[in-house]
Amino acid sequence: MAEKKPLTRTGALLQEITASDTIPAANVPAINLAGTGPGGVTGDLPLGNIAQGGATDGQSLLWNNTGGTWEPGTPAGGGDVSDGDTLGTGLTFPNTGLHILDTNASHDLIISPGSDLTADRTLTITTGDSNRTLTLSGNTTLSGTNTGDQTITLTGDVTGSGTGSFAATIGANAVTFAKMQAVSANVLLGNDASGTAVQEITCTQAGRDLLDDADAAAQRTTLGVEAAGTVTLTAAPSNNLTATGVKITLTANENQAFGDVCFINSDGEAQLADADAAATSGAIFMCTGTVTTGNPATYLALGIARNDTWAWTVGGLIYLSTAGTTGNTLTQTAPSGSGDIVQILGVATHADRMYFKPELVQIEVA
């Protein structure tokens, strides 16, 4: 083996150095990591070239400010934290909060304390061994203990007590009209004979006019009728082309208008009467509206009729005319032609009103 030679001389050849050679400590210059002055290191210092100096697994290289040296050791707080590690004693964060990235990692959700504590406090969250979601739609303040089955007591118009789902009672006279369901127009709330549920029952203005009458007499006044067995005629109907009295519904044989008087033909229809012959006379009903052929209409059998176009001689008799056309069946001139029928239909009570009372006894002119 070649002789070991300490490298203490200048000009030693590299081929003279073997792996077993050493450099005396006195010959090793101080290494200046700052990269300045004698022995300054300006490039990377391979960690493999740093003596371990008694470091153990898991320790870090720490700076000892007092001694001015680097030493192996364990950082305060338990050491480095890696992804997936489990902490034995927990972590302490500054009161600026714990930052958690949002769902797309664009912003932080910051959890921070909202009050000054007099001692360490614990917030315990129990999920009940299931995945849970806590959704807050506004600021929330919780006080007391709430396990989800806390007893709730209702007071006031609605009373009840219990946990979770429980029955409640609405107090008497507590539900106002404003709190009831809106209903359709022209209806009453009630029940017909077909069930037990509350229903909307149609009630028109005519029906309400009867319902708000104080008694039966007032209702008869509203209807324009008298008590059973009594018929009262209005001497002066309030509107033009109106009639009051006893009425009947019949089918019109042809187009007819208010004031046309009719007989009943062999088809049972109301047909315009004509005093020219006995077969077409016998007027018994007066049309009280406008109707077209084959349609039903209301006819006056006995009563008072008003038409502002009439110009009767008050107190004079009114006869069936010989015209036989709509609008021309009444006259105050008695028919006089041979074979004409003289039939009295009533009496003029006013220039535009008449008392309609057809006479079934008729006279034929010779």
Residues 356, 336 within the same domain = yes
Residues 276, 325 within the same domain = yes
Residues 228, 293 within the same domain = no
pLDDT on residue 274:
96
Number of H helices, E strands in the chain: 2, 20
Which of 144-148, 169-173, 292-296 has the highest mean predicted lDDT (pLDDT)?
292-296
Which of 145-154, 187-196, 266-275 has the highest mean predicted lDDT (pLDDT)?
266-275
Residues 6+ apart with CB under 8 A from 220: 226, 227
Residues 203, 305 within the same domain = no
Residues 6+ apart with CB under 8 A from 99: 108, 109, 110
Asked whether the beta carbons of 189 and 200 are under 8 A apart, the reply is yes
Higher pLDDT, 230 or 186: 186
Count of structural domains, the chain = 2
Residues 287, 262 within the same domain = yes
Residue 328 covered by a domain:
yes
Task: Read off φ and ψ for residue 357, nearest 5 degrees.
Answer: -150, 85
pLDDT average, residue stretch 99-123? 91
CA dist 191 and 350 (Å) reads 50
Predicted confidence band at 8 (pLDDT cuts at 50, 70, 90)? Answer: very low
Predicted confidence band at 239 (pLDDT cuts at 50, 70, 90)? Answer: very high
Q: What single-letter amino acid sits at 346?
A: G
Residues 360, 249 within the same domain = yes
Residue 301 covered by a domain:
yes
Minimum mean pLDDT range among 32-41, 161-170, 195-204? 32-41
Predicted confidence band at 9 (pLDDT cuts at 50, 70, 90)? Answer: very low
Residue 325 covered by a domain:
yes
Domain final position from 232, 252, 271: 232
Would you state the structure tokens that stand for residue 267, as one six-digit string?
Answer: 């088809």
Residues 6+ apart with CB under 8 A from 153: 160, 161
Residue 204 covered by a domain:
yes
In the block, tokens 């009594």 appear at: 230
pLDDT average, residue stretch 185-204? 80
Residues 6+ apart with CB under 8 A from 39: 29, 30, 31, 32
- Quick one: the chain helix, strand, coil %, rounded to 5? 10, 25, 65
pLDDT on residue 361:
93
The CATH number covering residue 310 comes to 2.40.300
Residues 214, 302 within the same domain = no
Residues 227, 311 within the same domain = no
pLDDT on residue 1:
45
> Whole-number mean pLDDT of the chain?
83
pLDDT average, residue stretch 229-257? 91
pLDDT average, residue stretch 173-200? 80
Higher pLDDT, 179 or 306: 306
Residues 359, 255 within the same domain = yes
pLDDT on residue 40:
55
Where on the phi/psi map is residue 241: left (φ > 0), alpha (ψ -120 to 50), or beta?
left
- Asked whether residue 141 carries a pLDDT value surpassing 90, the answer given is no
pLDDT on residue 64:
80
pLDDT average, residue stretch 330-357? 97
Find the domain containing 289 and state its range.
242-364
Q: What is the pLDDT of residues 120-134, one digit of tens each?
A: 998 888 888 999 888
Integer-rounded Cα Rg, in Å, for the chain is 59
Distance from the first to the final alpha carbon of the chain: 182
Which of 115-119, 152-156, 343-347 has the highest mean predicted lDDT (pLDDT)?
343-347
- Asked whether residue 353 carries a pLDDT value surpassing 60, the answer given is yes
Minimum mean pLDDT range among 79-83, 218-222, 293-297? 79-83
Give the pTM: 0.45
CA dist 52 and 50 (Å) reads 6
Residues 356, 254 within the same domain = yes
Residue 356 covered by a domain:
yes
pLDDT on residue 34:
52
SS3 219: helix
Residues 355, 246 within the same domain = yes
pLDDT on residue 17:
55
Share of the chain above pLDDT 90, in %: 41
Domain final position from 200, 232, 264: 232
pLDDT average, residue stretch 340-363? 97
Domain final position from 208, 232, 256: 232
Residue 246 covered by a domain:
yes
Residues 267, 194 within the same domain = no
Higher pLDDT, 249 or 96: 249
- Asked whether residue 138 carries a pLDDT value surpassing 60, the answer given is yes
CA dist 294 and 284 (Å) reads 19
Residue 209 covered by a domain:
yes
Q: What is the pLDDT of residues 155-184, one digit of tens each?
A: 988 899 887 788 999 988 888 878 888 888
Residue 296 covered by a domain:
yes
